[in-house]
Structure 1
Amino acid sequence: MRVVVAPDSFKGTASADRVAAAVAEGWRRERPTDDVVLAPLADGGEGTVESFAVAHPGGVRHDVEVDGPEGPATSTWLELADGTAVVELASASGIELWGTDQPFLASTYGLGEVIADALDSGATRLLVGIGSSASTDGGAGMLAALGARLVDADGDAIGPGNAGLAEAAVLDLSTLRPPPPGGVVVLCDVSNPLLGPSGAAAVFGPQKGAEADDIPLLDDNLAHLASLGSVDPSTPGAGAAGGTGWALLEWGAVIVSGAAALGRELGLPDLAASADLVVTGEGRFDAQTASGKAPAYVAALAPGRAMLVAGTIEADVSAFMATVDLVDLVGRERAFEDTLDALGEAGAELARLVIEGMGS
């Protein structure tokens, strides 16, 4: 039997490549003769650069010191042979770098610094993964780092984060660095608009420490920023990464499904077509998963042959022939504190289900 293991990362606990290796190890304990192929995925969030490095082993890594959401951070981007630069927001302006509960202050300035470094190095095309954001600043910090002027009525630069947006009087993009000649492609796992009940503040703000009373002000500040630009805030994906999608659209970028783009790089459609079973997963499988996250993409590639492992399962899993919830399998403490070992148990459990009659 041929089995393809194509999970996303388990945010904050294990990268996609380590998740895939752990699940595969558990599977092989039960079914040692199976051909198990690893294809770790990402959907634009953390692990995007690493997943592209798997697909392009000749890629050159560049480390950049940036202004992260809470101080200095080191972000890595990947230079591909054709001049494409792969950049991820998570390592520059990501939620894992943000340890406070002040949702009005986090900025995407670090992401702009990484992009600028790639441009300075001669990148001819940009792939930008924007998942796992810490901020709700509408990408204002990123635009500023790339040369845009976002100033108040006195001509002074506004403050960082969403809070600074309330002071903005002018968004001048005439000084913004031009995109590379091959364009900018945004890898995104959601299609949310910038504003409203499905927007950046309402849907993602609570994940970044926003209380219910904060949401209207966060949203109003984003609306004020949008009024200074030209991109329709209702554009799908504009609300991704706290509105960073909107800012990148202002720069002329196009937004695509991150999981699908990386899947093509890995040859996953062909791998899935040739596999008897495909195993995917993520840390929390919830209602947002169906909007473009990696497990939903994988399930669509292997209808009737997809299996799922997740830290917790909180949504309909009818698209999968078998599932394992780590918390149910090994308990909450072990699932979160010894995730890789628990994932090995999950891989073994899925293999046992096959042995017991789900298809061998």
Structure 2
Amino acid sequence: MVSVLIAPDKFKGSLSAEEVARALERGLLEAAPLTRVVRLPLADGGEGSVAAACAGRFSPEKITVTGPTGRPVTAEVAVRGRTVLIEAAAICGLGVLPGGRKAPLTATSRGIGQALRCALAGEADTIVLALGGVATTDGGAGLLQSLGATLAGEDGTPIGPGGAGLAALRTVHLAEARAALAGVDLVLATDVDNPLLGAAGAAAVYGPQKGATANEVRELDDALAGFVRRLEAADVAGAAGLAEVPGAGAAGGLGYAGMLLGGRVRSGADHFLTLLGADELLAGSDFVVTGEGSLDEQSLSGKLPVALARRARRQGTPVHAVAGRCTLPADRTAAHFRSVQALTDLTDQDCANDSALSARLLAQCGRTLADRWIGRGDTETDR
């Protein structure tokens, strides 16, 4: 019996990773019903990370914390034993802004710190913070404040929310926040390699998509630079150096705040593959089907499909890719994938914004894979 691992990322704006996997499975089993299929929805540290974890080895738990504009939000975290996965986008992301109204100067990461406190109350010893998709550019100031850090203005009162609040910062004390996470392995999962400041930093690169004008981008970058200077003046060891570490600019500077607390930046794709047991499943598979919404130049830098393909190659397991669109020529994908199918090659319609159409086309891709690489038989499905 042929065993197939279906392990895609989400198709952003269209289908979750689990929905992509189910659609591919449906088509594959229609054409080759004897196939044994294992689904492993994946995420790389951005939106959908908790859902992917809970489709695998983790269980969901609801928490209520402060959202990006100060209103409460209810979000899920993923829990397995004493490991907790927190998805930043679910707490202070663009998708949870009330009415979708962006707040580039004042959006806060306070809720992330509250989520960390919830995890600590449950005696977590490993916390994975999935960075990406946030509405904030506050350098993680809100996170630090909710863990007990003192970030005060000239008059000694706490600074206000967001990057705009950082502009008033005069006094910094991180001891209480650092003590809160003592002995905890804080993993900062991201595939973003931006530093905190400058032309490639958090404000310049991601501020505009959070609603910041050109002047506001400069204001935010200046505020973040002032934050670093105040940390240096407070003798916070390595404050300036950490601002230059790749990943410090992830999630509006949450990467930087996490490193100040002793966190370690890790590739989101590789960390999630390990976290969800991908190597074990690869070892038992005859081939793998993976994919993402856009297979492009960024994918080759180590995004999930390519990261998975590299692991599969070490085990001699062939990998096939399915994407919403593929902008890479065949000679660029051949090193990673035995075959590539793109939904845009199957329709003239806008499948990126039509989840039902995307699901039908993915099922068609599943049938094609079965016809070309498997054959026909009866059904056996895991998970």
| Partner in structure 1 of residue 248 of structure 2 | 238
C-alpha contact 1:104 1:162 (8 A) present in aligned 2: yes
| Partner in structure 1 of residue 83 of structure 2 | 84
Pairing 1:132-171 to 2, within 5 Å after superposition: 132-171=133-172
Please tell me whether residue 310 in structure 1 is matched to residue 312 in structure 2: no
- CA shift for structure 1 position 249: 0.4
Question: Against the structure 1 CA distance between its residues 286 and 109, is the aligned structure 2 distance closer, same or farther, given a 3 Å change threshold?
Answer: farther
Find the aligned partners of 1:332 and 1:148 in 2 and give their Cα distance.
51
| Partner in structure 1 of residue 61 of structure 2 | 62
Cα deviation, 1:238-277, whole Å, max 9, x if unaligned, reads 1111110000000111111222122123321243344343
Counterpart amino acid of residue 210 in structure 2? K
- Which 4+ stretches in 1 moved above 4 angstroms? 314-317
Counterpart amino acid of residue 133 in structure 2? S
Please tell me whether residue 248 in structure 1 is matched to residue 261 in structure 2: no
Counterpart amino acid of residue 308 in structure 1? A
Pairing 1:103-114 to 2, within 5 Å after superposition: 103-114=104-115
Counterpart amino acid of residue 190 in structure 2? C
Question: Against the structure 1 CA distance between its residues 320 and 246, is the aligned structure 2 distance closer, same or farther, given a 3 Å change threshold?
Answer: same
Find the aligned partners of 1:351 and 1:258 in 2 and give their Cα distance.
31
Cα deviation, 1:34-75, whole Å, max 9, x if unaligned, reads 332211111112222233333325x4x331111111432112
1:267 to 274, 277, 290: 277
Please tell me whether residue 352 in structure 1 is matched to residue 368 in structure 2: yes
Unmatched tracts of structure 2, length 5 or more: 232-237, 376-383
| Partner in structure 1 of residue 188 of structure 2 | 186
Counterpart amino acid of residue 234 in structure 1? E
For residue 283 of structure 1, give the secondary structure of its aligned residue in structure 2: strand
Cα deviation, 1:133-168, whole Å, max 9, x if unaligned, reads 221111111111111111112212222111212111
For residue 207 of structure 2, give the secondary structure of its aligned residue in structure 1: helix
| Partner in structure 2 of residue 278 of structure 1 | 288
Please tell me whether residue 342 in structure 1 is matched to residue 358 in structure 2: yes
Counterpart amino acid of residue 203 in structure 2? A
Find the aligned partners of 2:369 and 2:86 in 1 and give their Cα distance.
39
TM-score when scaled to structure 2? 0.83
Say how many residue pairs are matched: 355
RMSD between superposed Cα atoms in Å: 2.6
Cα deviation, 1:71-114, whole Å, max 9, x if unaligned, reads 32112223322x22222212111121131243222211111111
- CA shift for structure 1 position 32: 2.7
- CA shift for structure 1 position 192: 1.9
Find the aligned partners of 2:222 and 2:349 in 1 and give their Cα distance.
38
| Partner in structure 2 of residue 218 of structure 1 | 220
Question: Against the structure 1 CA distance between its residues 340 and 308, is the aligned structure 2 distance closer, same or farther, given a 3 Å change threshold?
Answer: farther
Counterpart amino acid of residue 37 in structure 1? V
For residue 266 of structure 2, give the secondary structure of its aligned residue in structure 1: strand
Find the aligned partners of 2:256 and 2:108 in 1 and give their Cα distance.
14
Q: Which has the higher contact order (CA 8 A, sep 6+)?
A: 2
- CA shift for structure 1 position 350: 5.2
Find the aligned partners of 1:106 and 1:314 in 2 and give their Cα distance.
34
| Partner in structure 2 of residue 95 of structure 1 | 94
Moved more, 298-307 or 147-156: 298-307
C-alpha contact 1:23 1:344 (8 A) present in aligned 2: no
Moved more, 70-79 or 268-277: 268-277
Find the aligned partners of 1:43 and 1:195 in 2 and give their Cα distance.
23
Moved more, 211-220 or 258-267: 211-220
Find the aligned partners of 1:104 and 1:336 in 2 and give their Cα distance.
30
Question: Against the structure 1 CA distance between its residues 19 and 137, is the aligned structure 2 distance closer, same or farther, given a 3 Å change threshold?
Answer: same
For residue 171 of structure 1, give the secondary structure of its aligned residue in structure 2: strand
| Partner in structure 2 of residue 26 of structure 1 | 27
Find the aligned partners of 1:278 and 1:32 in 2 and give their Cα distance.
17
Question: Against the structure 1 CA distance between its residues 359 and 84, is the aligned structure 2 distance closer, same or farther, given a 3 Å change threshold?
Answer: closer
Moved more, 85-94 or 25-34: 25-34
Counterpart amino acid of residue 141 in structure 1? G
C-alpha contact 1:124 1:182 (8 A) present in aligned 2: yes
Find the aligned partners of 2:157 and 2:299 in 1 and give their Cα distance.
41
Counterpart amino acid of residue 275 in structure 1? S
Unmatched tracts of structure 1, length 5 or more: none
- CA shift for structure 1 position 327: 4.0
C-alpha contact 1:190 1:293 (8 A) present in aligned 2: no
Cα deviation, 1:274-327, whole Å, max 9, x if unaligned, reads 434322222344444344432231232234933333334455652433333334
Counterpart amino acid of residue 336 in structure 1? N
Q: For the pair shown, which has the larger CA radius of gyration, 1 or 2?
A: 2
